[in-house]
Amino acid sequence: MRVCPIADVLPHAGDMILLDGIEHVEAERIVCTRIVQPGGLFVEVDGSLPSWVGVELMAQAIAAWAGCRAHTRQRAVQLGFLLGTRHYEANVEAFPAGTCLRIEAIRAFHNEQGMGVFHCRIDAEGIHAEARLNVFSPPDADAFFRALGEGKSA
């Protein structure tokens, strides 16, 4: 797969895009980056980023992987949902300002209904976080939302 600009592969916009870019992408794996900088969404007064935001960084890396996959197949970027995470662990309370985070997501499972599981990690010097994220991306988001609006199970 080819590396695309991050804004082209995420269904997010503006300040909601928490990743800076894609370093590497392949069939089952993506590596993204984020330099923690003062100001911006979720950043503390001291310029650090609370480590709990790592779950969203991981989820956005998964979304970027799916977006790159869609671009490769000449399809539109689809909306996805973070269903949950298991065992998110970080060895720090916050990611310090100036730190370049490397966010990796590896697909472990995916089915035709859009359910997926990814093993994710965040690394930087002296920093490590990891989790397994469960995600859902309906094959037809419009039909999924119509069914929800009509009170039907999807």
Q: Residue 58 corresponds to which amino acid?
A: M
101 Cβ partners below 8 Å, 6+ apart?
33, 34, 35, 36, 57, 95, 122, 123, 124, 127
DSSP sequence for 81-139 = EEEEEEEEEESSSEEPTT-EEEEEEEEEEE-TTSEEEEEEEEEETTEEEEEEEEEE--S
The whole-angstrom separation of Cα 77 and Cα 69 is 9
Handedness of CA 72, 113, 154, 16 (dihedral sign): negative
47 Cβ partners below 8 Å, 6+ apart?
36, 37, 38, 96, 97, 98
The per-residue pLDDT of the chain, averaged, comes to 92
Q: Does the pLDDT value for residue 152 go beyond 70?
A: no
Banded model confidence at residue 153, pLDDT cuts 50, 70, 90: low
The whole-angstrom separation of Cα 124 and Cα 128 is 7
Record the pTM: 0.92
Q: Does the pLDDT value for residue 150 go beyond 80?
A: no
**Residues 59-95: tens digit of each pLDDT:** 999 999 999 999 998 998 888 999 999 889 999 999 9
The whole-angstrom separation of Cα 80 and Cα 139 is 10
Banded model confidence at residue 138, pLDDT cuts 50, 70, 90: confident
Q: Does the pLDDT value for residue 101 go beyond 90?
A: yes
Name the β-bridge partners of 131.
120
Q: Does the pLDDT value for residue 10 go beyond 80?
A: yes
Banded model confidence at residue 144, pLDDT cuts 50, 70, 90: confident
pLDDT computed for residue 154 by the predictor: 54
Q: What domains are there in the chain, each with its CATH number?
A: 6-149 (3.10.129.10)
